[in-house]
Amino acid sequence: MRVIDAIAEIMKREGVEYLPCFPTTSVIEAAAEIGIRPIVCRQERVGVGIADAYARVKNGRPPSVFAMQYGPGIENAFAGIATAYSDSTPMLLLPLGHPRHIEGVFPLFSAVRTMESVTKSVEKISVVERTPDAMRRAFSQLKNGRPGPVLVEIPADLEQAEIDPELVAGYRPVPIATSMGDPSEIQRAAEALLRAERPIILAGAGVLYAEAWDELQELAEYLQIPVTTTMEGKSAFSEVHPLALGSVSGVMSGAAHHFFGEADVVLAVGTSLTRHGMVTPIPAGKHIIHATNDPIDLSKGYDVDHAILGDAKHVLAQFVEAVKDLTNDEPVRPEDGAAGEIDGVRSAWLGEWMPLLTSDEKPINPYRVIWEFTQNVHPAEAIVTHDSGNPRFEIMPFYRSDGPRTYLGWGKSHQLGTGLGFAIGAKLAAPDKMCVNFMGDAAFGMTGLDFETAVRSDLPITTIVLANGGMAVEKRHMTLSHDLYGTRDQGGNYADIAQALGGWAERVEEPAEVGPAILRAKQANEEGKAALLEFITSEEGAYSFQRPFS
């Protein structure tokens, strides 16, 4: 047995089904030989995005893997890996390494040395006998504790080397270990939650990875507490639920802003509470209960009143048990909860935005595109993601997800073009869903040709390009240079490009055609065709970048 075959066999035993990849690496052939389907992208960053989204939609089960060559392959993948690391996405990276006799020689790129800053763990298979143990350690890191990308480097001179099959014969899938929170601290935190006059729950991506959405809903409904989510945690709680506020980020709904600002107690669960430019800070003066599975997060950015270390599913179940015991199993009546106030605040806020959401202006107002999408695609039947910049700001406050992983939110490390790979990976993981990414001109320029990857791989996604002919999010940053040299201008006919790449596409300029075009794209997906809609939009600037809290 060759080392490369041993690696493929171990992946198979761990349940790996697909291998997003880019040549040249013999991992592709070895995986294909035993029934793991390769998905060959056009550039490594998109391939990492495919693996990233697959991991998110599947919550890491089965494991997600990306393979690439040494040198340019792993170098080009860096940006995608950085995104996965910042968002704590569990995926296995299998780059080849330079032959061992020249490793470390200038200027050869070392994946082990360089990727250490953007991975949960890195390891090189330095000798044949190390292969099973290195893979076992990697899968253990993927499955346990805080999620994150894990890297195993395979030296090019070792991949074809022979390994004793007996070393692989006994390999068993790595078990998953989770932990509960400290019962005494849960009790004290539950008492604080019950004393609160204006409590809210802030749910992060950890709720999704722990598959703790049922426990979250049970706790919220028992106490009739409003629920908001982080950008990455969006969809952990159905946003069509009467207690849902939507997500909080650089922009948010009126309900999220209102309740987040007025809360006296915040139960933050499954979130790192990292302070970051794209993350809304918790307003000062709040009583904070923080539950996370990684001790590095505790008291990292805030003085917390209750620190709880444990798996989100266990911790939320403990909270449910504690509050039921403290209230003699008498839940708060819905009429005494916050649902009515949430509905009122949301309706008033939405009314203020309706002129933009239903605008007939030309070029098309981008908010009209978002609104028409919400009216024509059921949120439980779709997986939606965005790109960075304007598409993210325009869609997040208004799109209401309905079901776990029906939205893929990201953004702490936000390379333009990430959303396209995410849509492809989501379709790979959930073929029954309509998988949609929203992107702008600049994002299409970064990764648009990988639309052909979706076409070629029979993964019928829908890409929506909000084409305003420039970089609108940079409008206030590039005023003089644009006036003098047109520095924000971007251009092209993206629908023509998509058609040339083998997909179904339309260019839409009339506001009245937005909704019908979305339905036509949906129909194209159902017929097995990757679709692209190019909406000619304005540089809408009505949203606010102002940070409402500090």
Quick one: pLDDT band at residue 32, thresholds 50, 70, 90? very high
Q: Give the global pTM.
A: 0.96
CB 542 within 8 A of CB 356: yes
Fill in the amino acid letter for 251. Answer: V
CATH class of 183-339: alpha beta
Average pLDDT of the residues in 5-10: 98
CA 157 to chain centre: 36
Give residue-wise pLDDT tens across range 347-358. Answer: 999 999 999 999
Of 536, 546, 388, 394, nearest in space to 468 by CA: 536
Quick one: pLDDT band at residue 542, thresholds 50, 70, 90? very low
CB 252 within 8 A of CB 280: yes
* DSSP H or E run through 479: helix 479-485
Position with higher pLDDT, 539 vs 51: 51
Average pLDDT of the residues in 102-123: 94
Give residue-wise pLDDT tens across range 402-461. Answer: 999 999 998 777 789 999 999 999 999 999 999 999 999 999 999 999 999 999 999 999
Give residue-wise pLDDT tens across range 207-239. Answer: 999 999 999 999 999 999 999 999 999 999 999
Give residue-wise pLDDT tens across range 310-346. Answer: 999 999 999 999 999 999 999 999 999 999 999 999 9
Position with higher pLDDT, 343 vs 281: 343
Q: Looking at the predicted structure, is the pLDDT value of residue 545 above 60?
A: no
Superfamily of domain 3-169: Thiamin diphosphate (ThDP)-binding fold, Pyr/PP domains (3.40.50.970)
Q: Which residue shows structure tokens 């304005």?
A: 538
Which residue blocks in 244-396 are alpha helix, DSSP H? 254-262, 312-326, 339-357, 366-376, 390-395
Mean pLDDT, the chain, whole residue set? 95
Average pLDDT of the residues in 460-465: 98
> Which CATH architecture describes the domain 358-536?
3-Layer(aba) Sandwich (3.40)
Every domain of the chain and the residues it spans: 3-169, 183-339, 358-536
Give residue-wise pLDDT tens across range 375-394. Answer: 999 999 999 999 988 898 89
3-state secondary structure at position 489: strand
Average pLDDT of the residues in 478-495: 92
Shared fold status for 3-169 and 358-536 = yes
Task: Give the span between the Cα atoms of 446 and 265, in whole angstroms.
Answer: 42
* DSSP H or E run through 183: helix 183-195
Quick one: pLDDT band at residue 540, thresholds 50, 70, 90? low
